Structure 1
Amino acid sequence: MNLSVTGEPEALRSGRGEGANVAEKVLGAQGLVKRFGPVTAVDGVSFEIAAGETFGLLGPNGAGKTTTISMVAGLLVPDAGSVTVAGVPMGGSSVEAKRHIGLVPQDLAIYPDLSARANLEYFGRLQGLRGSTLRQRTAEVLELIGLADRAKEPSKKFSGGMKRRLNIGVGLLHRPTLLILDEPTVGVDPQSRNSILESIEALSVEGMAVLYTTHYMEEAERLCDRIAIIDDGRLQAEGTRDQLIELTGGVDTIRLTGSGSLDAGAAAVEQMPAVRRVVRDHGTLVLTVSNAPTAIAPIVNAATGAGLSLADVEISRPDLESVFLHLTGKALRD
């Protein structure tokens, strides 16, 4: 399990990134350091992303996420470390590496007086698209971001969420090998946020590598194959969600509420290998278990077989907030 930020990361695995090899590696960031005067904003950050994989940088504001992706995209030159994109080294004047990148910044980069289609066509021409290729790709992107029916309207009439989706569309036009999304849902309403996340989820179908920064735990859990927790400019840990959860001990809680023989039910379940502890709380048994989704069925069968009539079964699992607190000693949004 790759939960260390020192040395070369292990081969990518899990989800769409499983079985990745060197040929499939789209992004390689190694030992990135960036200082602003006496402040070290990024300190030795290393990670890799494979084709078709969504990789999340999860951390609070000021953790170093935007500085990291600015170095990855070639907008900032690192004080130490290196970046390769599709096997091409990134340098301050490197055009070849940057051609592989679609960057969606946190601040909107669209023209308010232009329509959605005109915005996409303008940026498409900047990216070298012309004629029927540009028209076809513009239409495809409008469908993907859910703005095909509003294509002729000036973007200044759009909601915040629609503007964000158009911003994402600009980054997608030239079919980048690596798409970088910096906090793309900041400041939008829940409905628009969900639409944005649905658009991003659809990108995996095209086999695109995605680097996604967020301070929203639920977004990282929903979108990302692997997640790196970043704080104070350093990667605190990196892995799949389940691998990160294991850092907290990986234990879940199951609450069995019911009537009948509570003592007999407790005696039956506490003998099971997955159960670490059983606490009686009035009409409820509170179980500390390993891997609750797998253990729940045998536990319920054992409890009911012992004479416990269940009225409610509740599972609580540790989340990335728990991991961040465990690693840093503070809440994710502190």
Structure 2
Amino acid sequence: MDLAYIPSPSTGVIHLGPIPLRGYAFCIIIGVFVAVWLGNKRWIARGGKPGTVADIAVWAVPFGLVGGRLYHVITDYQLYFGEGRDWVDAFKIWEGGLGIWGAIALGAVGAWIGCRLRGIPLPAWADALAPGIAVAQAFGRWGNWFNQELYGRATDLPWALKISDGPNRVAGTYHPTFLYESLWCLGVAALVIWADRRFKLGHGRAFALYVAAYCSGRVWIEYMRVDEAHHILGLRLNVWTAIVVFVLAVVYFVLSAKLRPGRETVVEPDASGGSGEAVAAVDAEAVPADAKADVKAVPAESEDAKAEAADAGAKPATSLSKAAEADKS
């Protein structure tokens, strides 16, 4: 008999009248808000303007959700388009099923659009948001707990996850891989924050560190899972994806450090209010018309003063010449 285990929720949804509140969606929403909040603090610390991170997230988050769902549906197409399946279920995102690989890939496209509109470099924005993304993933994994999904092999450890009977699952106690990944993501966030402060990472290297660190943990966590998945050469598809993405992240980190060492000095050009010429132009427009007339009159008065000074200087010279002529005579 199991004396200790982590219980699973009896249901993943609570109805508030006619409105369903789903644990999976709730965890995703909390993660997004925390990521934006943390990213905003880091962006301001690097010299950016408050609110910029949220403005770009308006583009990145919807793209990321679509990308995450597309990756899941494409790589697990048999769940939606196989015999006896209903393809409409592919749109039921609240039932779970978001692939982080697709979310990051398509989310980056949305972020690129937002950055282009604001005139800021995407790598700098990604560096600021990197730890927040890891924290968002930590929250998001608890959505899998609500849905009783993505658990590991059977175990009788004290922290085993108890799963009840249901579609595509057998009652028992299993490794809580959702918890392992949640804790790993929090560790990744702490690593990126520390490394960024210690080594002043820039030009996308903080984001690359996040990607590499997450992938290294995803490999062993994915290896423990027992849910249905496609295999290539004996390894789950997501294991291969993690390996490839890890290599790409490390290559980018190394090349970026050689080609663009240091950190960006300016992440948002207009964050300090613009250049001195722009400020002068604005000040000039703000000067009242009467004041402008007075300002224009100053040079004219100066010219008159110069003329008077010239005349005054000429009189002594004339007197001296007359005195000289008198001595000669």
TM-score w.r.t. the length of structure 1 is 0.21
TM-score w.r.t. the length of structure 2 is 0.21
- For the pair shown, the structure with the greater C-alpha radius of gyration is 2
